[in-house]
Each structure stands twice: as structure tokens, then as C-alpha cells.
Structure 1
Amino acid sequence: MSVQKKLGEIKLSRVTFRASSRPQQENALQKSTDPLASRAIPAVKPQQGEGAQKAADTRQSGSTISLKGLLAAQRLTRELKNRVALRRKTRARTQNCSPITIINEQTPVNSANPVHRFPNAHVKELIEEFLATKLKNEPYDPCTCASLTKDLCEDIKKIVRRVTPPRYKLICSMAIGSKHREDIMVTSQCLWDAYSDNVTSCSFQNRTLFCVVLVYAVYFE
């Protein structure tokens, strides 16, 4: 009985050993003989590697983009703060600055010193308006130009006298010519006080004639 038990144990152990070792050998044979399995395994691994690399690249690019945006936003806020600070400084300087003292024009020693100077710009506007109303539709006639210039000079002196300060003498000179002839140039030269005296020149022209007016304002002490 003891011998039979030992033989049975040996048989059972052999059976269990064979049963446990056969599936492992069959799996090893299938792996070695199956060409598709050997080809499929390396094909899957690169795909997994490429996907992981793409995910890493996207993460890296996203991190770099977000970092660039953050730096740009910080730079923009810094510039805005600097501008606001500069504006505040300029406003504070303008508010706290001392008033500017304007130095009056000094009168030369040998010149006259009128209380009010001759209004050259205002006189020029008045003469231009007067010539436009009087000579807008006036045709050129050499026979009537002499009397026309005399009348216009008297009218201009009356108009200018209304806005001229006291103690000023007025001299009016006028020239009228035809536009169909050659051009002319009107010049003048005189000896006077450049500080107190002044001159106004105006010109006007229509289809047939041109007119040049000179008004001298000489201060008399």
C-alpha cells in the first residue's frame, strides 16, 4: 500500500507538471511561428511614441505661447503705467511753475514812442474789402483811370483814418493798369522811423485791370 501511494503521487505529480508546462510551450510556439504578431508589435509601438511626442509638442507650444502672451501683457501694462506717470509729472510741473514775465519791446533811443501803434493787419483787411466792392465789375479805361485813382485814394484815407491812432499822417498811393499788357512792378523807398512808422500794401485784379495800393502811416511828434 505504501508503494502504490508513492507511485500515485509520482503519477499525479507528473500529470500536474505536464499540464502546467504545456500551455506555456504552446504560447511560446505560437509567438515564434506567428509572423503577424511579430510585425504588429513594432508597428504599434512607434504610433504610441508619435502620439506621445505630438502631445508633448502641443503642451510645449502651448506653454511657450502662454508665456509670450504673459510677457506681452506685462510689457503693455508697464508702458501704460509709465505714460500715466509722465502725464502726472507734466501736469504737476505746469501747475507749480512760476508765471512767465514778458519783456516789453524796448524803444530805440532816437525813435518816437507812440502810445498806440498803427494797426497794419486791420487796415489791410479794410482796404481789400473796399477794393473788392469798388473794382469788382469796373472795366479798364485809360481815360478815366486818373480821376478814378484820385477818388479811390481819398476814400481809402477816410476809411483808414477811422482806425488810425492820433498823431499819424497818412499818405496813399495807387496804381491801376491793364491786364492785357506787360506786367509791371511797383516799388517804394522812404526814410522814416522803423519803430513808430508803418506801411500797408494791397492789390486787387479783375478781368480787365489790376490795382496796387500803398498806405504810409508816419508818426508826428
Structure 2
Amino acid sequence: MTSKTRVSFSNVRDAPEEKTVQKMAGLRGAASLGTASIHNQASWSFTGLLAAQRMTKNLKERRGLKAGRKIPKVEIVGLQAPSFASRPSQKVQVTQIQRLLEGYLPGRLGQLTYDPLRVPSLVKELSEEVKALVKRVLPPRYKVLCVVTLGERGQEDVTVVSRCLWDPHADSYAAHVYQNPSIFCVAAVYAVYCE
């Protein structure tokens, strides 16, 4: 931010730069003082930048206080539905859906053993049956998405993860994991409000 100019004079009288220096200094026809060389060197220091930033911040705060304005404080408010969005008259009862899954999966899968040829059709059947059960307890204008993952239990670990983009005020989900010595099953039900 600061610009430093260095001027150095020497006692040598007949140097070729003398005329240039005299023109710059406006000494035409005046007695010569020797050669002068002018160096412009801009030096920026980090501490100088920080000091300037602090100073301007303090000036802004003072100016605001003098004008009688107070800087508003930002407050974090709890999640609220946007005013332009339609809101459901009833929300989904997630605990009720959770209880349905907890009662249905052990009864349906029981002591089933893993059969790789039968699993694709079994997963489709499970998904449709869970969807039909959940539709009975859903409020109006909700759509249901059911994802069932079924696999063989072995020496490996499996992690099932999902992400959704939705309205947290109206939409919800429930999931349940069932395991027996041969298989594992993860059933996830997503209830999405249709505007």
C-alpha cells in the first residue's frame, strides 16, 4: 500500500543522466547539483494490508454508530416451511410405518435361506407388499417409494446408504433391517408429499 521513492545524488558533474534529472526536477538552466537517480519501488507488506483492513472496518463501525444505525444481529430460527409451499394437513406417522416393517419382515422372511436365482423376484414381491401395507396408513396426497435390498450373510460387512432431495417439513422415511443366519434384508420406505 505504501510506495517508497528513493532519490540518490552523486557528485559526478558531467553524467549523461544529468539532463534527464534536471528536466524532471524543473531545473532547466539552473546550476547542476550532480546526478540524481529516482527509483520508484512499490512494496506491499502483509502487516500493512491487515492494518488497513482493521482501520477501514473500525471506520465503518464508527460511521454506522454516528448515523444512529445499529448493525442487526443474525439469529438462527428453527426450520420453517416456505410460505409459498402447500403444507400437508396431516404428517406421516413414521413410528407407525416403522412398526409395520418390524412386524412384516420377520414374518415374511422367517428362516428363508439365500437362493441367488430366487432373490430378484423375491425383492420385487417384498417391495410391492411393503408398499401396499404402507399406503393403508399414509395421509392423502403422499406418494410412496420402497427400496428393498436383500443379500447373503457371509464374512463381509455391507453398508446401505441413501440420499434424497426433498422437503423436510412434509416428507419423511422409515427403514428397518432384518437378519437371519442366511440372509439380510434392508427395507427403506420414503413418503413424499405431492403438491
Q: TM-score, normalised by structure 2?
A: 0.57
Distance of 2:157 and 2:188 partners within structure 1? 18
Letter in 2 for 1:108: P
* Residue equivalent to 2:100: 126
Q: Aligned to 2:121, what secondary structure does the other structure show?
A: helix
Q: 1:206 aligns with which of 180, 183, 188?
A: 180
Structure-to-structure mapping, 1:149-160, within 5 angstroms: 149-160=123-134
2:151 aligned with 1:177: yes
Distance of 1:127 and 1:112 partners within structure 2? 29
Letter in 2 for 1:195: H
- How many residue pairs get aligned? The number is 117
Instruction: After TM superposition, give the deviation of residue 106 of structure 1 in Å.
Output: 5.3
Larger radius of gyration: 1
Q: Aligned to 1:200, what secondary structure does the other structure show?
A: strand
Supply the RMSD in Å over aligned alpha carbons.
Answer: 1.4
2:108 aligned with 1:148: no
Distance of 2:155 and 2:116 partners within structure 1? 12
Q: Aligned to 1:162, what secondary structure does the other structure show?
A: helix
Letter in 2 for 1:191: L
Instruction: After TM superposition, give the deviation of residue 111 of structure 1 in Å.
Output: 3.8
- Structure 1 stretches of 4+ with a deviation exceeding 3 A read 105-108
Q: Aligned to 1:124, what secondary structure does the other structure show?
A: helix
Q: Percent identity?
A: 39
Instruction: After TM superposition, give the deviation of residue 128 of structure 1 in Å.
Output: 1.1
* Residue equivalent to 1:5: none
Distance of 2:190 and 2:148 partners within structure 1? 12
Contact 1:111 1:195 in 2 (8 A): no
* Residue equivalent to 1:108: 82
Contact 2:114 2:182 in 1 (8 A): yes
Q: 1:164 aligns with which of 138, 147, 156?
A: 138
Distance of 1:107 and 1:191 partners within structure 2? 15
Distance of 1:178 and 1:106 partners within structure 2? 43
Distance of 1:150 and 1:171 partners within structure 2? 13
Distance 1:110 1:185, change over 3 A: farther
Q: Aligned to 2:175, what secondary structure does the other structure show?
A: strand
* Residue equivalent to 2:52: none
Deviations 1:192-218 (A, max 9, x none): 101000111111001100000111111
Structure 2 unaligned blocks of 5 or more: 1-78
Q: Aligned to 1:159, what secondary structure does the other structure show?
A: helix
Instruction: After TM superposition, give the deviation of residue 150 of structure 1 in Å.
Output: 0.2
* Residue equivalent to 1:6: none
Which is helix-richer, 1 or 2?
1
Deviations 1:29-73 (A, max 9, x none): xxxxxxxxxxxxxxxxxxxxxxxxxxxxxxxxxxxxxxxxxxxxx
2:187 aligned with 1:187: no
